[in-house]
């Protein structure tokens, strides 16, 4: 009996199913790993103080969009196979199944290698690390078991179990997305957090301009408007309220910047090895931070001439 020919419809159905499956699974795993990072932070690693600045939102959106697409394409493919069982012998189906089994096997092996490498190197087996290893292994093992069963026609003999697996996947993905909302809050809260993040970035930029102004003139600007330069800088305003940020020179080398925030900030963790460059915006000293509570918060700053010498003395 001749093998069935792969039509353009068959090819793109399988290509779409494979792409949407890989994309949704990878996004799901990365989403879980980020949840672990925020629940069990590693003191030797830098994380954004605000989860909205991470890729969590993108990964949540990917799971929400790509998983239903994969389930729909899988349903169409299975419907066609039910009508014409010879479609099970399509080369594109065999390649898709074998490729997925191979990738899942590599993921499990690589996961175990990473675990043993950490153990043999004497590194600390933190809760977060062990949970990441477990998540990757369980997801890869689940994918392997599902597709090895598909390869052996297990789901054709037990179609009800196939439906139960699909329902279980949907429930798991839904629970994962809901967990993301518990971490991120509602879209309205996300918007408020983004406003706060922008305010901190603006204050950092203004702070750097104040430092540069002092280095150039050995005096602090009297008002924030004195920082404006048509060639290099225009002082930003609060995008939420449309009002200027509050600036005040409090001494020859001291000043403060103020803004009104919507939410309390989360602490940023820095390890001793974290490059100083991560402390964005030209922070005057390592003790300075941009942590804030709800409402107006003023940040007192002191310029250290040793770190920021006047340009006249810095120039050869």
**Inter-axis angle of helices 127-151 and 91-120, nearest 10:** 160
CB 93 within 8 A of CB 9: no
Identify the pLDDT of residue 92. 93
Is 2 contained in some domain?
A: no
Q: How far apart are the first and last CA of the chain?
A: 86
Is residue 72 very low, low, confident or very high in pLDDT (cuts 50, 70, 90)?
very high
Confidence of residue 274 (pLDDT cuts 50, 70, 90): very low
Q: In the numeric block, which tokens belong to residue 147?
A: 């597709």
- Asked if the model's pLDDT at residue 266 lies above 90, the reply is no
Examine residue 37 and state whether it is found in any structural domain, yes or no: yes
Q: What was the pLDDT predicted at 300?
A: 94
Domain region containing 26: 8-185
Specify whether 174 is located in the same domain as 263: no
Element (H, E) at 298: strand 295-302
Three-state DSSP state, 178: helix
pLDDT confidence of 6, banded at 50, 70, 90?
Answer: confident
- Chain segment 197-211, per-residue pLDDT in tens: 899 999 999 999 999
Shared-domain flag, residues 113 and 130? yes
| Three-class SS state of 296 | strand
Q: Do residues 197 and 291 both lie within one domain?
A: yes
User: Minimum mean pLDDT among 108-122, 164-178, 241-255, 301-315: which range?
Assistant: 301-315
Query: What residue ranges in 141-184 does DSSP mark as E strands?
Result: none
Across 69-78, average pLDDT: 94
Q: Tokens 């479609």 label which residue?
A: 87
Position 157 pLDDT exceeds 80: yes
Q: Residue 49 pLDDT more than 80?
A: no
Whether 18 and 50 share a structural domain: yes
Q: Are both 167 and 104 inside the same structural domain? A: yes
- Whether the predicted pLDDT of 54 surpasses 70: no
Q: Which of 154, 185, 216 is the last residue of a domain?
A: 185
- 141 lies in the same domain as 207: no
Q: How far apart are CA 220 and CA 226, in angstroms?
A: 9
Q: What does the alpha-carbon distance between residue 53 and residue 120 come to, in Å, rounded to a whole number?
A: 35
Q: Name the pLDDT band for 110 (thresholds 50, 70, 90).
A: very high
Contact between 297 and 258 under an 8 Å Cβ cutoff? The reply is yes
Residues 267 and 288 both lie in one domain: yes
pLDDT for residue 288: 55
* Residue 314 pLDDT greater than 50, yes or no: no
> Does residue 233 form part of some domain?
yes
Specify whether 257 is located in the same domain as 141: no
The C-alpha atoms of residue 85 and residue 300 are separated, in whole angstroms, by 73
Q: What is the SS3 string spanning 243-294?
A: CECEEEECCCCEEEEEEEECCCCCCCCCCCCCCHHHCCCCCCCCCCCCCCCC
Number of domains making up the chain = 2
- Residues 100-109, mean pLDDT to the nearest whole number: 96
What's the burial of 141, exposed, middle or buried (CB within 10 Å: 0-12/13-18/19+)?
middle
pLDDT band at 93 (very low <50, low <70, confident <90, very high): very high
Q: If you average pLDDT over residues 138-156, what whole number do you get?
A: 92
Q: What is the mean pLDDT of residues 267-289?
A: 46
Residue 7 pLDDT greater than 60, yes or no: yes
Report the range of poorest mean pLDDT among 60-64, 82-86, 277-281: 277-281
Cβ-based neighbour number of residue 120 at 10 Å: 8
């Amino acid at each position: 009996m001749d093998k069935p020919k792969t039509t353009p419809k068959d090819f793109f159905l399988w290509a779409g199913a494979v792409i949407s499956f890989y994309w949704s699974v990878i996004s799901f795993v990365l989403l879980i790993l980020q949840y672990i990072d925020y629940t069990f932070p590693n003191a030797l690693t830098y994380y954004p103080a605000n989860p909205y600045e991470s890729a969590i939102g993108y990964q949540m959106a990917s799971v929400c969009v790509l998983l239903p697409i994969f389930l729909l394409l899988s349903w169409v493919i299975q419907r066609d196979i039910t009508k014409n069982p010879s479609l099970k012998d399509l080369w594109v189906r065999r390649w898709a199944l074998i490729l997925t089994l191979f990738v899942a096997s590599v993921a499990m092996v690589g996961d175990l290698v990473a675990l043993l490498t950490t153990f043999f190197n004497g590194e600390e087996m933190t809760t977060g690390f062990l949970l990441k290893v477990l998540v990757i292994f369980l997801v890869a093992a689940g994918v392997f078991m599902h597709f090895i069963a598909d390869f052996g026609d297990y789901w054709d003999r037990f179609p009800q179990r196939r439906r139960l697996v699909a329902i279980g996947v949907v429930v798991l993905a839904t629970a994962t997305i809901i967990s993301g909302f518990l971490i991120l809050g509602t879209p309205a809260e996300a918007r408020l957090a983004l406003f706060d993040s922008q305010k901190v970035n603006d204050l950092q930029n203004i702070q750097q301009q104040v430092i540069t102004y002092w280095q150039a003139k050995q005096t602090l600007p009297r008002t924030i408007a004195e920082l404006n330069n048509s060639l290099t800088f225009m002082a930003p305003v609060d995008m939420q309220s449309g009002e200027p940020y509050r600036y005040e020179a409090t001494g020859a080398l001291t000043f403060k910047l103020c803004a009104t925030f919507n939410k309390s900030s989360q602490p940023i963790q820095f390890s001793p090895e974290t490059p100083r460059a991560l402390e964005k915006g030209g922070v005057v000293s390592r003790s300075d931070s941009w942590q804030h509570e709800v409402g107006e918060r003023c940040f007192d700053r002191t310029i250290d001439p040793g770190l920021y010498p006047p340009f006249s003395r810095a120039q050869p």
